[in-house]
Amino acid sequence: MSEHLHNHDELDTNPETEEQTIEKNGTVSDVTTDVPVSDTVIDVTPSRVVVNNEVPVADTNNSGASNPGVVGEAHSATQAEPSIEELLAGKKSSSGNNGNGGGNVPPQPPHQAPKKSGNGKSFLFGLLGGLSGALVIVLCAALIFGTLGFMNAGSGTPTNGNGVSISGKVEIETDLTAAVEKVQSAVVQVVTYDAATSNTMFGGNSSSGELEESGSGSGVVYKSEGNDAYVVTNNHVVDGAKKVKVVFAGGAESEATVVGTDSVQDLAVLKIDNEHVTTVATFGDSEALKLGEPVAAIGSPLGSEYFGTVTQGIISGKERTLETDNAEITVLQTDAAINPGNSGGALINMAGQVIGINSAKISTEYAEGMAFSIPSNTVVDAISVLETGQTIERPYLGIQGIAIEDLSASQRQQLNIPDSVTSGIYIAEVNSGSAAASAGVQKGDIITSIDGKDVGTVTQLKTVLNTKKKGDKVTVEYFRNGNKQSTEVTLNQVQ
């Protein structure tokens, strides 16, 4: 999926101020995939319930879905090619995809074996059947009138007074039930509120100043200290909320303060009074997970009515990539059912440890059971910073640019980009005093890799930089006037 700059923003601008795409389940970005039947856009849906129908329903017919295309591609006879300035401003063209793929096979009725014609044995079978039927009737009558005493009380099996036996209480405990019991009380519902609005007589909206419930997700209590407790959830669950409330099993409530958020990793930390906290979750090692390992998701899909819902699945993938406006994030894939309202809830292993924070799912007629969770190791690193009220600092180069793949042939010619350079980031501007400027990077250079990792899109560039910290030195490879060069850049500035 090609990336572009928005309004001439600095290429690696502060991710905290950019619109968050993973919020789009309620609001996560579209992931494009090739399906043999037709081109299809898959909605990666954040699992947050939004009140007032703010969450778009998955468009299984892909009507109006956008299938990002190469800039300059002929989409229609009347569509004009955007200018380079428009590309830098984020006005890249895209091709529509309105087909539904067709070819759906309707459900088939169950197969019914053909009836065989009668033969000479039918009379004998009919006679035996009649005798056996009469015997059944006699036995039933005997039971009804109590003539068969051995079926009544006294046999040691409880009955309901009508002769129906009732089994005693059966205690069943499995690895799953034991794991759920350890952590279920630490999983809470997170409810958000926004300003109430009403329609005006002129067709607009007005705010009354009062707050109304605007959405809900899930969260996990992971720490209790003094009179306070801390809850981790998704950033897209609480983003923009005027008020946040945490609801516990049993209905107890606590007002929450958002103390830290990170839109890149889609995480947020809430602080609450620990009056109603009875259980604190523990984190497991997400790196130690194995493919096929059983897991369970706990949360409140579709709101409070289904509070504490448990679904079971396995680890389907360990290093999947989801693309957001800010970067590509590495997530766990599971087939445990995750639905709107599960966002921020726990994905646990059979030891009752939280090994992921549920975040999104793929919603399309071509796929089922594909949900994603932020790995616990990523979560632990992030919340240790966010709970202190600090932001997660990420270094940046200090450039503005555009992906080569987003340029048409005429635009490449206009910018003097050699035909031999097929991928990279064209630098349209270098900020004065930035890390890139200090290393000698110039306008017109084309960055192709950082520390040996290819960067063909803005998203890939940000993803690499997000793994670094202030003071790190990185090797930047680039083309200048058709010649490949490299330089060492010290990342001395953070956002």
- For 297, 301, 377, the CA distances from 190, given in Å and listed in that order, are 16, 11, 22
- Residues 259, 284, single domain; the answer is yes
Report helix, strand or coil for 70: coil
Mean pLDDT of 333-351: 96
Mean pLDDT, all residues of the chain: 75
CA–CA distance, 4 with 275 (Å, rounded to integer): 47
Q: Is the pLDDT of residue 230 over 70?
A: yes
Q: Total structural domains in the chain?
A: 2
Question: Higher-confidence residue: 13 or 471?
Answer: 471
CB neighbourhood size of 420 (10 A)? 8
Mean pLDDT of 2-10: 37
- Residues 425, 484, single domain; the answer is yes
Domain end among 390, 413, 439: 390
Domain assignment of residue 99, yes or no: no
Mean pLDDT of 356-374: 91
CA–CA distance, 434 with 253 (Å, rounded to integer): 48
Least confident of 1-15, 276-290, 400-414: 1-15
What pLDDT is attached to residue 248?
96
484: domain range? 399-490
- Residues 383, 437, single domain; the answer is no
Specify which residues 247 forms β-bridges with: 189, 253
Q: Is the pLDDT of residue 21 over 60?
A: no
- Torsion (CA) 408, 414, 419, 421 in degrees, nearest 10: -90
- Residues 268, 379, single domain; the answer is yes
Domain assignment of residue 102, yes or no: no
Q: What is the DSSP letter of 457?
A: S
- Residues 357, 237, single domain; the answer is yes
- Residues 281, 348, single domain; the answer is yes
Domain end among 390, 410, 425: 390
What pLDDT is attached to residue 430?
94
Structure tokens at 209: 């100043």
What percentage of residues in the chain have a pLDDT greater than 90? 51
Domain assignment of residue 279, yes or no: yes
Report helix, strand or coil for 381: helix
Q: Is the pLDDT of residue 94 over 80?
A: no
Domain assignment of residue 450, yes or no: yes
**C-alpha angle 341/380/268, rounded to 5°?**
40
- For 104, 112, 285, 366, 463, the CA distances from 108, given in Å and listed in that order, are 12, 12, 46, 19, 47
SS3 content of the chain, % helix, strand, coil (to 5): 20, 35, 45
CA–CA distance, 319 with 356 (Å, rounded to integer): 13
Mean pLDDT of 345-373: 94
What pLDDT is attached to residue 365?
83
Quick: pLDDT tens for 239-266.
Answer: 999 999 999 998 999 999 999 999 989 9
Quick: pLDDT tens for 152-182.
Answer: 444 455 666 677 777 777 888 899 999 999 9
- For 39, 139, 141, 144, the CA distances from 131, given in Å and listed in that order, are 65, 12, 15, 20
What pLDDT is attached to residue 426?
95
Look up residue 380 and give its amino acid. V
Quick: pLDDT tens for 48-83.
Answer: 665 553 333 333 343 333 333 333 333 334 456 777
Active-site positions read: 236, 266, 343
**Sorting pLDDT into bands at 50, 70 and 90, what band is 137?**
very low
State the number of CA atoms in the 13 A half-sphere of 314 facing the CB: 6
- Residues 469, 337, single domain; the answer is no
Look up residue 374 and give its amino acid. I
CA–CA distance, 89 with 83 (Å, rounded to integer): 10
Domain end among 335, 357, 390: 390
- Closest CA relative to residue 45, chosen from 388, 379, 301: 301
- Residues 246, 197, single domain; the answer is yes
Rg of the chain in Å (alpha carbons) = 30
CATH number at 457 reads: 2.30.42.10
**Sorting pLDDT into bands at 50, 70 and 90, what band is 110?**
very low
Domain assignment of residue 337, yes or no: yes
CB 99 within 8 A of CB 67: no
Q: Is the pLDDT of residue 120 over 80?
A: no
Question: Token match 């990539």: residue?
Answer: 321
What pLDDT is attached to residue 130?
42
CB 426 within 8 A of CB 407: yes
Q: Is the pLDDT of residue 210 over 60?
A: yes
CB 28 within 8 A of CB 241: no
Specify which residues 250 forms β-bridges with: none
Domain assignment of residue 80, yes or no: no
What pLDDT is attached to residue 295?
98
- Residues 411, 341, single domain; the answer is no
What pLDDT is attached to residue 92?
42
**Sorting pLDDT into bands at 50, 70 and 90, what band is 366?**
confident
Q: Is the pLDDT of residue 472 over 50?
A: yes
Domain assignment of residue 145, yes or no: no
- Helix H or strand E segment including 291: none
- Residues 352, 480, single domain; the answer is no
The DSSP annotation for 120-157 comes to TTHHHHHHHHHHHHHHHHHHHHHHHTT--GGGSTTSSS
CATH number at 308 reads: 2.40.10.120
What pLDDT is attached to residue 150?
36
- Residues 300, 373, single domain; the answer is yes
CA–CA distance, 9 with 327 (Å, rounded to integer): 15
Look up residue 377 and give its amino acid. N
CB neighbourhood size of 243 (10 A)? 17
- Residues 333, 282, single domain; the answer is yes
CB 293 within 8 A of CB 179: no
Specify which residues 328 forms β-bridges with: 323
Domain assignment of residue 307, yes or no: yes
Mean pLDDT of 435-455: 94
What pLDDT is attached to residue 432?
92
CA–CA distance, 332 with 348 (Å, rounded to integer): 12
